[in-house]
Structure 1
Amino acid sequence: MTDAGAPAPGRRRLASLRPPREEDFSPRLRSPAVAARVGVALGVCFGLAFLTGLVSHYSQLPDPPVPVPTSPSWGYRVTQGLHVATGIAAIPLLLVKLWTVLPRLFQAMPRGVGPLAVATAERVSVALLVASAIFMLVTGLMNSTQWYPWAFSFRSTHYAVAWVAVGAIVLHVAVKLPVIRTALGADLEDTSQDRVPKTSPTRGVDQEGLSRRGLLTATWTAAGLAVLATAGATVPWLRRVSVLGVRSGDGPQGVPINRTASAAEVDPAAVGEDYRLEVVHGEQSVTLSRADLEAMEQRTEALPIACVEGWSAQGTWSGVRVRDLLDLVGAPAGAAVVVDSLQQRGAFSSTRLPGNFADDPRTLLALGLSGEPLSLDHGYPARIIAPNRPGVLQTKWVHRLEVQA
């Protein structure tokens, strides 16, 4: 039985419910000292991912103002592998960073128009930073697995949001630079910048359990393991331990396949006995069968194929130099070439091969891989393979080369 004037127990519990406040959280692990150190690692990962992402985006431009170099042949393999690896490492780093600064979400807003406006602007910028960072990492991870549950263009949207994320990071660092410098300059266990928790008037409470150093060690370990579990898609000697790698290196003729002939809707009849390659330069043109191509001088090149999803593989390709084909129609040196594919579905059925790539002696119209004729899914009857070029531009099922005047 309860007193007539006392509220029921259920009502008392309901009345005690309230949103958490900043002082409700212990500062032992959620401190500027931890947040600053995790933030530096996260910033490095985002910076590297941004720079290598710019390289990838620029490499896919049909007519870049400054030609992409053809050497080293493994350049795109390294930059795109680093792009995906730093993105993967950033995932656990971002989670820990958000956890350490979570109390700031519940910080009371100041009074007064001026301070309130400043605090609101800061929160909006932080919200933009968090949202863009999460978007970049989630969509990037989905792209690496080739899962696209959205209707927008991944490449253009990912590129645009990357600028938003980096801009928000730069603004955030500029605003918080005094706090960051002080936190990094002090000992990890220093508590001079910590909040005073509501549960105790003193700092440094709750010393049992995971230490700050232990939290950072666990964070670096998680980031390292995440990279190790996926890096085998790019680094062959890690494939046995990269249990989450999206490509194991296996595939027909020792090279993985991104898009099959069926997925690209290649007509089987078009790659049969009636297949012909057309090479065009203005009024001049030649038409070649697969047998005609095989009768030309064959070259062999060991070149990697590296895809935007981050995986790559080395292959031994054989075929005809593209420059030799262009000489058949009198194409001048340095002329770019439009490469047309038989594929009916996909964004890269027609690509542009810049002049420096077309003239490079390592650029082949490949007819074989690993000492065997190309498999259909690898681009039979003929495909482009060039050094330091994104995989999406290594056009398969080629049926036409047109020299641009």
Structure 2
Amino acid sequence: MRYMSKGIKADIGQSKAQEIIDRVVELRPWLREHQAAAERQRRIPQETIERLDAAGVFGLTTPKRYGGADFTTREVHDIFRALGSGCGATGWMVWAAAGGNLWSCAFDDDVVAPVYESPWVGNRTFAVGGTSRRMSGTARQVDGGWMIKGAWPFATGSAHASHGYLAVFYDEVDDAKVGMVLVPKDSLAARDDWDAMGMAATGSQTVATDGELFVPDAYFSTPKRLTERLAGLTERGLGPRPGGLARSLVTGAGVALGMADHAMEVFLGAIGKRGIPYSPYAKQADAPITHLTVGRAHTQIRAAAAVADAAVAQLDRLEAAEADPAEPDTLQLHTDVAYIWDACGSAVETLFHASGASAITKRQPLQLIARNCRAGSLHAAHGIDTWMENVGRELCGSEAPPASMSVLERRS
């Protein structure tokens, strides 16, 4: 189903980043009020999508050559932090949809232009698969194209998109033979199987083919083709900003910080209204343990923000030098992001633990923030133990086999 805009949509391609942040801040009460409804629906409510679209937020999910935003790393990070402070699941969904934009560069303009230029409300595309065969489809070549089949789990953003980029393996044994196809979402079946303890509202359902689906040659691409077209687009000033996957992860860490900001606001707003049962404190705000709790959580959030600021500044410096991060830089940036998510998750859980039994009720927002933030920290790209080990191995000069990441991730 196609949704048309209500009212006048902001032109994010012409908007300044601060204007987008201001609009998101104006929407923050709405986002917070509808977090629980979004979780129950297991997707972002359509009216929220329409309000975000009118504010220009989905320009972040559109390539700049088709009118999308072209903001610095700092600006995108700050927008995601503002979104995360309103609703972490909403921020995550927009961030995930924005990450798929890279694959628009892998197809000819006459293929992707109609996808992004036709009227639409919300994120236009989503991208999924490639990290393993279990999470991807398969493809076999036929006259004029490819027959694809499979199921793609964790299709974040698919609930609101018109098209999807789907990873397919086209060789039965060679994992380097993987490509990406661009297909209309209405050619896929959506499985109502996304029911998670956190980030439930992201709508990260499985999408699947019903048997085999024909995809014309022009709608099939490869990492090699992506690399070639990226070089050409960059020369013409139409490519994405440098930084690749590291830049995407660093900007997305703003969602974690936004959730931590919201959790602190909720906690401080309640400590003057409740006491601590079985203690001499009629107000929680008077208890030394509360001061310790707030100080600990505040410091964790501040430290995570400082790490994020350093990572953002590094990427902006590299961009000014027209350079992508070198391999050691990328390793450290990945580790920084894992630290940010883990520290924010711990800070939110510290505040939740100190809020007493009343905080477990679904009408209280802190429990939802805690679950969303911890769920985000458990994403494979954010795994704190994995990345601490990786950076430690590098510092110790210890050799290791290549990391188990897909060819799609390596090339992007």
Fold shared, TM-score > 0.5 on shorter chain: no
Higher relative contact order (Cα pairs below 8 Å, separated by 6+ residues) = 1
> How does the TM-score come out when normalised to structure 2?
0.22
> How does the TM-score come out when normalised to structure 1?
0.23
Give the number of the structure whose alpha-carbon radius of gyration is greater: 1
